[in-house]
Homo-oligomer: A and B are copies of this chain.
């Protein structure tokens, strides 16, 4: 079975990440996040975002998102998110677990982007005691369907949210791909995002994501919160060092740019052969193809791991590691279905 396109976490660490991890292994270091490598990585991220923020490193995107949302919403409140967002469909209800029952309100919108009118309607709904009113908006950049919000689009979602007194979370598991697609990361804090998950794993790190709290009041007793949530690394340098290697070398974005190019190449090849239609605009590193179940099954049988999504299309994801030859091999396979 070939896992090249099954997900962007089937690849290992990018060379810069691995080298930094190996380098960080030498000698003793303070435990629980108080080491120098971790401090330097946080500085790098602040610089990259051009913003002040409290930063912590956790083990998984699921935990990062769920912990972040637990800062923004009480159990008797809800989080607004695209109904296809990872927190809604792929995290086994983690927001409700970490948030002790916090609700999720799924919003529609084309290709993974929340429709602003629907958001406004949800924010304007009359509050009643027997429902969970919204306390936060969760955005995904790039989205679950591989599209990338423009700054203007984000502004139209964030402004009414803040006016309604709600907080804003951004799931940036694929933030590197959004950046490589032209999204300016220094706008995130200025747009009013309160807490950002800055993605590592899908960008070529091991299993590490950074929780970036622009609103420092959210960070009160954050070390207690994370320890209780099982998200404090005793040897934090192994979480931060790979990210540091990626950021210092430029590989964080270069790898994402490569992944985006490979997705483009794949999408173009599919369009050229005209065998199947693209289900969503290809703006980052994922290609969604409208493919009948039988064809999908044949492709699996030919040894290509790939998955059907809730919208019925089949997803192919590229990463820093994707080779041109692999794209062409896949195109041949798809062409022959």
Using a CB–CB distance below 8 Å, which chain A residues touch chain B? Answer: 1-4, 6-7, 9-13, 18, 21-22, 24-32, 58-64, 66-67, 74-78, 89-103, 127, 129-133, 201-202, 206-207, 221, 223-235, 237-239, 305, 321
Q: What residues on B are CB-neighbors of A93 within 8 Å? A: 75-76, 78, 101-103, 132, 228
Contact (Cβ within 8 A) B29 A12: yes
When distances are taken between beta carbons in the complex, the residues of chain B under 8 Å from A76 are 92-93, 97, 221, 224-225, 227-229
B31 near A12 with CB under 8 A, answer no
Determine which residue in A97, A202, A231, A233 has the highest number of CB atoms from chain B within 10 A of its CB, and name it: A97
Residue of B at shortest CB range from A90?
Answer: B130
Closest 3 CB pairs of A and B: A63-B230, A129-B223, A97-B101
Least CB distance from A118 to B in Å reads 16
**Distance between Cα atoms of A27 and B322 in the complex (Å):** 10
- B residues near A18, Cβ cutoff 8 Å: 22, 25
Say yes or no: A238-B206 contact (C-beta < 8 A), given A59-B59, A62-B232, A66-B230. Answer: yes
CB–CB B100/A97 < 8 A: yes
In the assembled complex, the CB of A300 is this many whole angstroms from the nearest CB of chain B, namely 13
How far is A75 from B201 in the complex, measured between Cα atoms in Å? 26
Complex A-B: 9 CB contacts under 8 Å: A2-B28, A13-B238, A59-B59, A60-B231, A74-B225, A89-B131, A94-B227, A132-B228, A206-B238
Chain B residues in 8 Å Cβ range of A227: 62, 76, 91-92, 94, 129-130
Q: Nearest CB to that of A305 among chain B residues?
A: B30
Known contacts A61-B234, A92-B130; 13 further A-B pairs (Cβ under 8 A): A12-B29, A13-B25, A59-B59, A62-B232, A76-B221, A89-B131, A91-B227, A98-B101, A99-B101, A101-B101, A207-B234, A207-B238, A230-B230
Docked-complex contact B92 and A228, CB < 8 angstroms: yes
Q: What's the Cα separation between A224 and B77 when bound, in Å?
A: 8
For residue A131, which residues in chain B have a CB less than 8 angstroms away from its CB?
89-90, 92, 224
A202 to B131, CA, bound (A): 20
Q: Is the CB of A29 within 8 A of B10?
A: yes
Whether A74 lies near B207 (C-beta < 8 A) is no
Partner of A221, one of B133, B226, B238: B133
Alpha-carbon distance between A133 and B222 when the two chains are bound, in angstroms: 12
> Which of B96, B100, B102 is the one whose CB lies under 8 Å from A103?
B96
In the complex the two chains form, what is the Cα distance from A32 to B132 in whole Å? Answer: 16
CB neighbours of A6 from chain B (8 A): 30-31
Which of B28, B67, B129, B226 touches A321 (beta carbons < 8 Å)?
B28
